[in-house]
């Protein structure tokens, strides 16, 4: 039996006003329908925003530790249901069990973290130049936040937007991506069970072009947080700022790993492989470019090919790398394989769909590596949201750094080196919001800022940690001469 979900608006589970639903399917077995969701329209989105507007004053007036207790309760509910949510994530998004389980745990940890942060919310006390006067700041919520989230981290990204927004007294409306909305909707089951007041958090499923646009455009929305493609993000940013809203966008990446002659080659191959092929390359921080010094180039290519050869591709429950989420995403990756070959890059491994009975129907693709890639090739410049690695040769550290910075993106970057001088210079000069030394480009701590440079971000507000709190609050300065 197919699970049927509804929108959560003003503390109630509601059918869409038009009565229409859409289905999600298992990318490992596309004939397997997972669930159905409301194909909502602007009327549903507007109702959610109006509920959030009505609830905002009372929620902001709720003591912050009380808000935190509800977040902690929701996190505990998620923890109790971890395996159930993991299975839903595997079936809708295609992640491996380890990846899906880790993502659900990440959501739990995010709610626990921001639950504790509610005890520290407030402002700062300053010394007044007037006698017997108080001078201090207080942080107040922005108001109503519209949250638009992608399919590739369908519970972690909603969690890291929802938790700081709610912790700081804002109310929210979430529009999750339609390819894998299940675990995001389940968050609201947890909110409901944890006792979140009606209207504080609302979720409306359906096309971003309809639901997301209506939420962003609504006069009742004060802030917009979007994660997704650069093209859509630029349109969201333009529309929201034209209406005077506070906006943060986190977008695409073309993330490099520089490998220097002093690097441990085995470690470098492990890190690049994990960054390129983990989560089937469907991460905005995935390593898509390995920039390798001439002296070790051939040896590195052999080592990373060996890693790719060891990857077992198959359904997420029992493999090393799952399918891509949809036929469109699979076709996009395969199209870039053709483009790379036409540009003159050398296909070392992969480049097609894997053989095997269990893989015939799903959206599976082989881990793919190209060598002899020119920095100007399209696979070295454009985001490929799949397990495709371009290996680029560099004659020097300076050359490698120039290549690393030579794209319109700047999200995550890493270097593998045994030289402190190179590491320090890399951290200082690389044009990326996340810089890693002897680590893979993927993987983020939840208590530090996350965001990119250039077309990887609006470069306005960062997410996560204290920075996440900052986006959802406005500082008010108080002069008290009472």
pLDDT one-digit tens code per residue, 303-336: 999 999 999 999 988 899 999 999 999 999 999 9
Q: What pLDDT, in 10s, does the model give residues 355-410?
A: 987 788 999 999 999 999 999 999 999 999 999 999 999 999 999 999 999 999 99
Q: What pLDDT, in 10s, does the model give residues 214-232?
A: 999 999 999 999 999 999 9
Question: Which residue in the list 35, 45, 183, 284 is annotated as catalytic?
Answer: 284
User: Does the pLDDT at position 208 exceed 80?
Assistant: yes
pLDDT recorded at residue 162: 98
pLDDT recorded at residue 139: 95
- Comparing C-alpha atoms, which of 379, 482, 480 is closest to residue 125? 480
pLDDT recorded at residue 132: 87
What percent of the chain is modeled with pLDDT above 90? 95
User: Who contacts 243 (Cβ-Cβ below 8 Å, separation ≥6)?
Assistant: 216, 217, 219
pLDDT recorded at residue 380: 98
Band (108; pLDDT cuts 50, 70, 90): very high
pLDDT recorded at residue 368: 98
Cβ count within 10 A of residue 277: 27
Identify whether 284 is a catalytic site residue. yes
Q: Which residue has the tokens 């700047």?
A: 410
Residue 152 and residue 279 in contact, taking contact as beta carbons nearer than 8 Å: yes
User: Does the pLDDT at position 111 exceed 90?
Assistant: yes
User: Does the pLDDT at position 74 exceed 80?
Assistant: yes
Beta-sheet pairing, 409-410 with 346-349: unpaired
Give the tokens for residue 304.
């990373």
Residue 106 and residue 156 in contact, taking contact as beta carbons nearer than 8 Å: yes
Instruction: Please name each of the domains of the chain with its CATH number.
Output: 3-251+458-480 (3.40.605.10), 255-437 (3.40.309.10)
pLDDT recorded at residue 358: 79
Q: What pLDDT, in 10s, does the model give residues 328-368?
A: 999 999 999 999 999 999 999 999 999 987 788 999 999 99
User: Does the pLDDT at position 469 exceed 90?
Assistant: yes
- CA 164/CA 463 separation, integer angstroms: 9
Residue 184 and residue 154 in contact, taking contact as beta carbons nearer than 8 Å: yes
Give the pTM: 0.96
Higher pLDDT, 357 or 40: 40
Q: What pLDDT, in 10s, does the model give residues 143-163?
A: 999 999 999 999 999 999 999
What percent of the chain is modeled with pLDDT above 70? 100
**Burial, 339: exposed, middle or buried (Cβ in 10 Å; 0-12, 13-18, 19+)?**
middle
pLDDT recorded at residue 243: 87
User: Does the pLDDT at position 1 exceed 80?
Assistant: no
- CA 273/CA 268 separation, integer angstroms: 8
pLDDT recorded at residue 318: 87
Average pLDDT, the chain: 97
Give the tokens for residue 330.
């699979």
- CA 244/CA 223 separation, integer angstroms: 9
pLDDT recorded at residue 482: 77
pLDDT recorded at residue 360: 86
**Burial, 267: exposed, middle or buried (Cβ in 10 Å; 0-12, 13-18, 19+)?**
middle
Band (83; pLDDT cuts 50, 70, 90): very high
Q: Residues 130-140: what's their mean pLDDT?
A: 93
- Entry field: residues in the chain: 482
pLDDT recorded at residue 277: 98
pLDDT recorded at residue 426: 98
Q: What pLDDT, in 10s, does the model give residues 257-269?
A: 999 999 999 999 9
Q: What pLDDT, in 10s, does the model give residues 445-468?
A: 999 999 999 999 999 999 999 999
């Amino acid at each position: 039996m197919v699970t049927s979900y509804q929108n959560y608006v003003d503390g109630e589970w509601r059918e869409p006003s038009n009565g229409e639903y859409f289905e999600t399917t298992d990318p490992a077995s596309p004939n397997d329908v997972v669930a159905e969701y409301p194909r909502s329209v602007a009327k549903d989105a507007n109702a959610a925003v109006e509920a959030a507007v009505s609830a905002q004053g009372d929620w902001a007036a709720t003591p912050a530790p009380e808000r935190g207790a509800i977040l902690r309760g929701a996190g505990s509910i998620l923890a109790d249901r971890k395996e159930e949510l993991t299975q839903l994530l595997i079936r809708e998004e295609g992640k491996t069990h380890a990846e899906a389980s880790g993502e659900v745990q990440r959501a739990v940890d995010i709610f626990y973290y921001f639950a504790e942060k509610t005890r520290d919310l407030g402002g700062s006390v300053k010394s007044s130049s007037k006698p017997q006067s108080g001078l201090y700041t207080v942080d107040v919520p922005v108001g109503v936040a519209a949250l638009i989230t992608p399919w590739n981290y369908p519970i972690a990204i909603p969690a890291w937007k929802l938790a700081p927004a709610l912790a700081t007294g804002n109310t929210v409306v979430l529009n999750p991506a339609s390819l894998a909305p299940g675990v995001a909707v389940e968050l609201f089951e947890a909110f409901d069970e944890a006792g979140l007041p009606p209207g504080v958090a609302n979720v409306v499923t359906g096309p971003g072009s309809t639901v997301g646009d209506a939420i962003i455009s609504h006069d009742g929305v004060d802030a917009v947080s979007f994660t997704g493609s650069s093209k859509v993000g630029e349109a969201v940013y333009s529309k929201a700022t034209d209406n005077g809203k506070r906006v943060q966008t986190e977008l695409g990446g073309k993330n490099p790993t520089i490998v220097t002659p002093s690097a441990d080659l085995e470690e470098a191959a492990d890190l690049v492989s994990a960054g390129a092929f983990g989560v089937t390359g469907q991460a905005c921080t995935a390593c898509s470019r390995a920039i390798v010094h001439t002296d070790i180039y051939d040896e590195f290519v052999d080592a990373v090919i060996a890693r790719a050869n060891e990857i077992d591709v198959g359904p997420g429950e029992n493999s090393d790398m799952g399918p891509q989420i949809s036929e469109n995403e699979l076709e996009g990756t395969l199209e870039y394989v053709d483009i790379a070959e036409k540009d003159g890059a050398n296909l070392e491994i992969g480049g097609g769909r894997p053989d095997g009975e269990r893989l015939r129907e799903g959206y599976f693709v082989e881990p793919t590596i190209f060598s002899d890639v020119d920095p100007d090739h399209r696979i070295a410049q454009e985001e490929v949201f799949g397990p495709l690695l371009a290996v680029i040769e560099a004659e020097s550290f300076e050359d490698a750094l120039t290549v690393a910075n030579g794209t319109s993106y700047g999200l995550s970057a890493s270097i593998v080196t045994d030289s402190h001088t190179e590491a320090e210079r890399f951290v200082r000069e690389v044009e990326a919001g996340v810089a890693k030394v002897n680590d893979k480009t993927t993987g983020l701590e939840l208590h530090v800022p996350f965001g990119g440079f250039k077309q990887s971000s609006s470069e306005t507000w960062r997410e996560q940690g204290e920075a996440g709190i900052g986006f959802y609050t406005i500082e008010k300065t108080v002069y008290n001469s009472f």
